[in-house]
Structures are given as C-alpha cells and as structure tokens.
Chains A and B, each alone.
Chain A
C-alpha cells in the first residue's frame, strides 16, 4: 500500500513539474498547451455527469459560453460602460491599466465560476428530471438556444461579437501574455484534477454510479437522486464556466455561435474526448483529451478544409466501434491492472459456453 502511494506521489510531482516547465520548454506552443489544459478540464468535468452519472449532456457548452461572456463583461463593466465598449467594436477608446486588467479578470473569473453554477442549480430540477435521450436533446437545444439568443442581445455585441480587453500594453515582455494564460489554465486544471480525484474516492461517486446504473432502484434504496444529480451538474458547470472565462481572454474575441456557445466544436469535443479516453474513469478523459488534441493539431493543418469531415468521421468511428474508449479497451485486456479479480472457473465456463 505504501509503495503504491509513493509511486502515485512520484507520478503527480512529475506531472506537475512537467506542467510548470512546459511553457518554457515548448515556448512556441504556449497557446496550444493552454488549449490542452482547458480541453482536459472540460473532458474531465463532462465525465463527472456524462460518464459517472450517466446523463449525457450536449449542453455543458452553455456554462462554458456563459462563463466566457461573464468574464469579459465583468472585466469591461467594472471600469467602463459596457454598451459603449461593445458599440465601438475593435476600436479601443478605453484602455485598461495593468492593475485594472488583472483585477477585472480575477473578479470576472470568480463570477464566471459562480453564476453558471447557480444557473445549473436553478434549471437542474427541471432539466435533470428528463431521462436518457430526452435529456441529451434538451441540453443540445439549450446550448444552441443560448447561442442564438446571445447573438441577438445588443449590450454584449449581438451578431458582430465582443472584443475582450487586450493584455495590458505596459507589460512589454512578449512571452508574458501566453505564460499568464497558460499558468491560469494549468491552475484550473490542477484544481479540477484534485476535485475530481477527491470525488472518485468519495461516497458521492458511488451515488452517481448508482444513478447511472439504475436510477429507480437507487431511489428505492433511499437516495435522493435529484439532489445528487443537481450537485453533480453544478460541479461540471463550475469548471466549465472557469474554462470559458480563460478561453475568452485567450482568444480575445467572443462570437455568440462560433466561439462562446460553440456546440459544433467545443460542445462536441468534450463529449468525444471523454468517450475516446473512456467514460467513467479518472484518467480516461485526460488521456482522451491529450490524444485528441495532438491528433487535431497534427492533422488539422494537413487536411485544411476537410477538418470537419474528418471530425464527423472520427465521431462516427469512435462511437460505433469504440464506445468503451481507450480505458475500457485496456480494462478488457488487462483486468488485473484495474484491480479486478477474475474467477478462473467462471472465465472457463464462459469460454465453454461460447
């Protein structure tokens, strides 16, 4: 037992050192690394309710986009009139000082984490009562409706988009912007990992699994399923909001349907990454997101123009042929590694049956 813990400790400290050193080692890829951190956070938290709770949501993009708009709005609105900012579009009549910028983004991220969580709690009772595919389609509708509605609201830029405050010009170091966003996203990633890891060792996870396996029976056993479902969804919303806020600052421009409520990209990516790695495992979404990101970045430039076709084909292939994902495949291959004990007699009997 002690030995295993030591191994874990070495793994984690190694990963953290790698994470901290990465922007200096691969300084040309800082933006990509930031994307990777955000993707892992999204996949990991999607997995909490998609994989563990069995509620496959297409609508977590709602919280992501909400976080993005909130961070930018708060960051601007704290110091300048928001309506005039969006009206002026790309022209910068207002300039944030360094202190204002960081104060703004700090408060903005706080709001971006809290408000989506509250929203998830508020709509959770109505939405999480839906089962199976009704839930999936309903959340899909929510995500797209949010995008369409955000595209019609004047104060946040409507159809022409919202330019987020540029990084303060007083900081002359050209590396600073990339490093700031990388470390911000890495911090969120570490927090998300610690949180998910904690949940994996807790009773809460068992309850979520019970809901996934048979909700009616779980209810009959005295679990207040609705309460736990809402809490599970709120956990996802919290991190989705944070991730969205960081991405908004990194991209520097928010469009209602192409960047914020981007159901066609981010909304599908998070589902796909979790399934690719293996739903309902701690490491699955992390591995899935990393693989997916490398695949995407490596291949996208070679098949320019065809990337969405490739994405669609990838979705079909993964879903149809590998619904259990990488971790599921490994688990089937090396069950001992996952702590599963196989009864030799039982296995033989099954082989004979075949």
Chain B
C-alpha cells in the first residue's frame, strides 16, 4: 500500500488523464465484444488475443520500417479476414449451442493463438516506437505521451465511423435486425450466416485497431490477452449490450480504477485488481438481481 498519490495531487491528475485515455481504448475493445455478444450470443474468450495479434501486425510493420501508426489502417483489414476465417472454421458450429461451449471453444482458440504468437514473435515484451514525443503539462509535473492522445483520438474516430456505418449501411441494418430477432430477420431475407460472419469480422477488426494502438502506447506480449478479454467483458456487463455512451463511460471508469490501483496497491497487483474487480462486479450484480426477484414475490 502506498498513499503517495494522496499526498501529491499532481500524481492524481496524471493518473486520471492516463486512466481516461486508456479507458477509451478499452471501450473500443468492449464495443466489439458487445456487438458479437448481442448479435451472436457468444462470449469470446479469445477477444484479448485478437487484440494482441492486431498489435503484432502493427509491430511487424514497425520492424519492416513502416511507421506503426499505419497499423490502425492495415491491421483491421487483416484482422477482419482472420475473424471471418475463424467464424467459418469454428464459431459457426457453436453459435446456437450452450454458452459454456462457446466459452470453452474460444478458450481453446485463445490458447492456440497465444502459442502461435509465441512461436512467430517470440516471448519478449515488445513495443513499437511511434516517436511522437510527450506533452508536458502544469510546469512539467504531468507527462503525457502524445501516442496516448493519438490512440484516444483514433479510437473515438473509429467508434463514430462504426456507429454511422451501423445506422446507415445495409449490412449495419441487417446486423441490427439479426440482433433483435434472428428468425424474423431470416424470414425477411437477411442472410444471417453472412451477418454472423461479418459481425465476427468487424469485431476482429476493432480488436485489430485497438491492438495497433496498444502496440505504440503500451506493450505487447503473447500471453497478456486474457486481461483484455476480462476488461471488455466487465465493461459490457456494466454498460449493457448496445449502449455506446455507457460503454465509453464505463471504459473510462475502468481505466481510472486501474491507474489508481496501480499507484495505491503497486504495479504487481494491477492485473490481480482487475480480476478481483470482475468478481466484485459480478457478485454485486447477483445481489442486485436477487433483490429484484424478491420484489416479484
């Protein structure tokens, strides 16, 4: 336990800014999860590993001498097809099944992804240098890497683009119709199979964008995917399905929580704190729901 943060108010400003910028990134991943959960009723444990894979695509570009920021355009395109292929290979067989089966199947996919990334990119912690420099605020007492601001801006832009796409385009309307009632959509001529594949692809593409941004703001490692899955799962539970403003707000809340936990508990407990928060949220939700059940009596 370290209460330095309460003695130095500037640290608090630092943690808050870091947390909010990070939270926007989490919200982007969570939006993808909410999309596939709402449309296909699947909880994808491999979500975080898709993110990391997207990050490694940007990192590979960085190694090849291309600026990693271009990853936010290249990575989603590649990841869309990865997601599509994944749907055709495995996910389409678990869509209508028990949720536990989809959890376990995507868990298996996650293990395969982790190991393949470990083979291809090695087990070192890597980061792609964007060379954007840092902004100093308040007499140099708060440092803010420009790459974090860049990542938040890109996340917001992509989120807006996606919302407009879902509202206006034909595929977006088909996706929303399928989410509301898959059977009725089918009767009215929507090719639900294609919609599912596209949804999973879009989700993977969102993960790709987030991964590319993570490769320049944070670090990449083949085995850190699961915390991203859990973070997005948490955000979706708190915000509910298909409620974008709530997803953004709870994403930022999670980012703030993490930065403060980092300062107060110490960095070694950061991931532990995230997972404990998940347990607390679920348990809190369970007691709230059981109260509701009692009213019905």
Interface residues of A (CB under 8 A from B): 56, 126-127, 129-130, 132-134, 136-138, 140-142, 144-145, 148-149, 151-152, 158-159, 264, 268, 271, 275, 305-306, 308-309, 311-316, 319-320, 323
Contact = CB atoms under 8 A, between A and B. Distances in A.
A332 B108 CA distance: 26
A235 to B, nearest CB: 21
B268 A151 contact: yes
A132 B99 CA distance: 8
B271 A138 contact: no
A138 B279 contact: yes
A131 to B, nearest CB: 9
Closest A-B pairs by Cβ, 8 of them: A315-B108, A148-B272, A145-B275, A312-B112, A312-B111, A308-B115, A316-B108, A141-B278
B111 A138 contact: no
A138 B110 contact: no
B275 A136 contact: no
A323 B101 contact: yes
Contact of A56 (B100, B266, B269, B283): B100
Nearest to B97: A323
Interface in B111-165: 111-116, 119
Contacts of B81: none
Q: Which of B116, B268, B286 has the most CB of A within 10 A?
A: B286
Interface of B: 43, 90, 93-94, 97-101, 103-105, 107-116, 119, 226, 230, 233, 237, 266, 268-269, 271-272, 275-276, 278-279, 282-283, 285-287, 290
22 contacts: A56-B100, A126-B286, A126-B287, A133-B99, A136-B99, A141-B282, A144-B230, A148-B275, A159-B268, A268-B111, A305-B119, A309-B115, A309-B116, A311-B111, A312-B108, A312-B111, A312-B112, A315-B108, A316-B105, A319-B101, A319-B104, A320-B90
B104 A315 contact: yes
The B interface is mostly helix, strand or loop, or mixed, namely: helix
Contacts of A145: 272, 275-276, 278-279
Given A152-B266, A323-B101, 17 more contacts: A126-B283, A134-B237, A138-B278, A138-B283, A141-B276, A141-B282, A148-B271, A148-B272, A148-B275, A149-B269, A151-B272, A311-B108, A312-B109, A312-B113, A314-B108, A319-B108, A323-B98
B108 A141 contact: no
A314 B116 CA distance: 15
Contact of A130 (B115, B271, B286): B286
A152 B269 CA distance: 7
A323 B98 CA distance: 10
B279 A315 contact: no
Contacts of A308: 111-112, 114-115
Nearest to B284: A126
Nearest to B93: A320
A125 to B, nearest CB: 10
Given A312-B109, A320-B93, A133 B115 contact: no
B63 to A, nearest CB: 23
A323 B283 CA distance: 29
A136 B114 contact: no
Nearest to B89: A316
Per DSSP, chain A at the interface is helix
Contact of A309 (B97, B99, B112, B269): B112
Nearest to B282: A138
Contacts of B98: 323
Contacts of A127: 279, 283
A123 to B, nearest CB: 9
Nearest to B226: A144
A145 B230 CA distance: 11
A142 B103 contact: no
Contacts of A56: 100
B196 to A, nearest CB: 16
Nearest to A135: B282
Contacts of B268: 151-152, 158-159
A274 to B, nearest CB: 11
B261 to A, nearest CB: 12
B103 A268 contact: no
B285 to A, nearest CB: 8
B111 A137 contact: no
Nearest to A54: B100
A312 B43 contact: no
A134 B282 contact: yes
Contacts of A129: 283, 286-287, 290
B226 A271 contact: no
Contacts of A132: 99-100
B278 A319 contact: no
Contacts of B233: 137
Contacts of A158: 268
A152 B272 contact: yes
B90 A316 contact: yes
Nearest to B118: A308
Nearest to B115: A308
B110 A137 contact: no
B105 A313 contact: no
